[in-house]
A and B are shown apart, each in its own frame.
Chain A
């Protein structure tokens, strides 16, 4: 098994807080470093309260990258800053989430540095004769490939919700936060974000939710999602949707799960009125436990379901809510 001397993680931030996938990257980093140094780089403005709490995390150093061009996402500025930090720290492992941010920045940085990049990894194996072996789904989740990197640095993006998150704050001493000022005076910003229309409402982040109640075309209307939302609330989860439901206007595209939408790996996925098309399965088939509720016993969703109820979702879903409330009282 290999060890890395120096691991660098690029944080992913949403609404001023670190996304869960960053904590997952920290635990992968510790597995790979096995005693080596772990660095975390934070580029966007983070809530000052969170910075304080992060000081207790088991990290060797945090880099707070401060530059006016990085306050909001800009591709050129981000690529340049990542490259600067990699040149400065010379890590043998670079980790980030396989999120919109990671997907945009990591391939450009990898191409610039002519290094290998393993994208969308779901598992790390350290027991092989190779240094580190990562597993990633291929063919829309119909097979897996295990790959390794032939020459450091190891550059890896992690699919959210597939690794145990690290929240260990056992350090008795708070770690040092270094401020890094990248020199971005030479770069031209060739793309400019003029507007962001937020459709993702507050509440549980879909790609990080432990429980997802998802509705498809079988939900039949926008109002039809109300019982699904009630169930999601009592289970502490989030609501998702199939492309069918989004196309029909019952749900916003922000909720779409599947190849084109979000890829999710919750502990519990409840599919209501979803037929189970391959593009939908690509986004959820790795959920730990899958429940299907569908009036059609032949629906392909039952092939991936651990538990199935053949029945009308409008009858079943409210009964599930009631039953959970009853035994939880």
Chain B
């Protein structure tokens, strides 16, 4: 089984967000594997454990993303590709990300039966990149999966659809996006962390893709990044619980006017 994972590195969930000169300040932030990509990595490794094969991974990111790639390798990924878009001469968006990943797959002839993505990235959060890759490769996708069974070339999936559970059948090759509940990602063991350092990691610059910048550049444009307005400190009520409850209803009715 040929398994391919598209994984993104993101800020740690606990990081506070600061804006510097109109950009998100990434100075000294803790970074992690995007949590939904972590489920994808774990599931890819489990497919290999059950059916044999190779698990490969693609990350678009700068040098700092290699920490995430090594962690995924310590979990069990065999081989990694990091594509650096730092010097890309135009704006990039989800169109750029997905076109670049597809070009990389084609150029390096990376084989795949299953492609696993996160359902969304917790920073950009558009949930676009997975389905876009599937469309560009001409394969089906199933999103927000919470359970997966691969049986020969057949796949059976359970997915979360706004709380409802949908059972879907399809066949390989397919792209799947991982939702929480799919699995419990493992912690890498120390010997595996050591071994991961020697696993093959291929680094590429965007110009090695030999793509037409016009074709893959962003179709959307950033106008501004804005902070979330500091909320005025809320009002903690006082008095007996009964008084507080009465006061709360009055405030919701008369002050906030939401009742």
A interface vs B, CB < 8 Å? Answer: 75-76, 79, 99-100, 103-104, 106-108, 110-112, 114-120, 128, 130, 133, 135, 137-151, 190-200, 206-207, 210-211, 235, 243, 252-256, 259-262, 267-268, 278-279, 282, 288-292, 297, 302-312, 315-316, 319-320, 323-324, 327
Interface segment, one of B51-59, B103-111, B117-125, B193-201: B117-125
Number of interface residues of B (CB under 8 A): 80
Interface segment, one of B41-49, B75-83, B133-141: B133-141
Q: B163–A309 contact, CB under 8 A?
A: no
B interface vs A, CB < 8 Å? Answer: 11, 13-14, 16-17, 19, 24, 93-95, 98, 120, 122-136, 139-144, 160-171, 174, 179-181, 215, 218-228, 231, 234-237, 241-242, 244-246, 248-253, 256, 258-259
Q: A107–B131 contact, CB under 8 A?
A: yes
Kindly list chain B residues whose C-beta atoms are within 8 Å of the C-beta of A261.
163
Kindly list chain B residues whose C-beta atoms are within 8 Å of the C-beta of A200.
162-164
Q: Measured between C-beta atoms, what is the minimum distance from B23 to chain A in Å? A: 10
Q: A138–B125 contact, CB under 8 A?
A: yes
Q: A268–B163 contact, CB under 8 A?
A: no
Q: Which residue of A lies closest to B219 (CB)?
A: A116
Q: B124–A138 contact, CB under 8 A?
A: yes
Kindly list chain B residues whose C-beta atoms are within 8 Å of the C-beta of A211.
258-259
Q: Which of B136, B139, B225, B259 touches A143 (beta carbons < 8 Å)?
A: B225
Q: Which of B14, B98, B245 touches A316 (beta carbons < 8 Å)?
A: B245
Answer whether A141 and B94 are a contact pair too, CB < 8 Å, given A99-B162, A117-B128.
no
Kindly list chain B residues whose C-beta atoms are within 8 Å of the C-beta of A254.
162-164
Q: A149–B131 contact, CB under 8 A?
A: no
Q: Which residue of A lies closest to B144 (CB)?
A: A100
Kindly list chain A residues whose C-beta atoms are within 8 Å of the C-beta of B235.
306-308
Q: Measured between C-beta atoms, what is the minimum distance from A187 to chain B in Å? A: 11
Q: Which residue of A lies closest to B163 (CB)?
A: A254
Answer whether A141 and B228 are a contact pair too, CB < 8 Å, given A120-B125, A323-B249.
yes
Interface of B is mostly: mixed
Kindly list chain B residues whose C-beta atoms are within 8 Å of the C-beta of A104.
131, 143
Q: Measured between C-beta atoms, what is the minimum distance from B215 to chain A in Å? A: 7
27 contacts between A and B (CB under 8 A): A100-B144, A100-B162, A107-B128, A107-B131, A108-B135, A111-B98, A111-B136, A115-B95, A135-B226, A137-B125, A138-B124, A139-B125, A143-B19, A150-B221, A190-B171, A197-B166, A211-B259, A261-B163, A278-B14, A288-B256, A297-B236, A303-B234, A306-B231, A316-B241, A316-B244, A320-B245, A323-B249
Q: Which of A145, A253, A305 touches B234 (beta carbons < 8 Å)?
A: A305
Kindly list chain A residues whose C-beta atoms are within 8 Å of the C-beta of B179.
260
CA distance A237 to B237 in the complex (A): 23
Q: A198–B246 contact, CB under 8 A?
A: no
Kindly list chain B residues whose C-beta atoms are within 8 Å of the C-beta of A288.
256, 258
Q: B241–A319 contact, CB under 8 A?
A: yes
Q: Measured between C-beta atoms, what is the minimum distance from B38 to chain A in Å? A: 13
Kindly list chain B residues whose C-beta atoms are within 8 Å of the C-beta of A138.
123-125, 225
Q: A268–B126 contact, CB under 8 A?
A: no
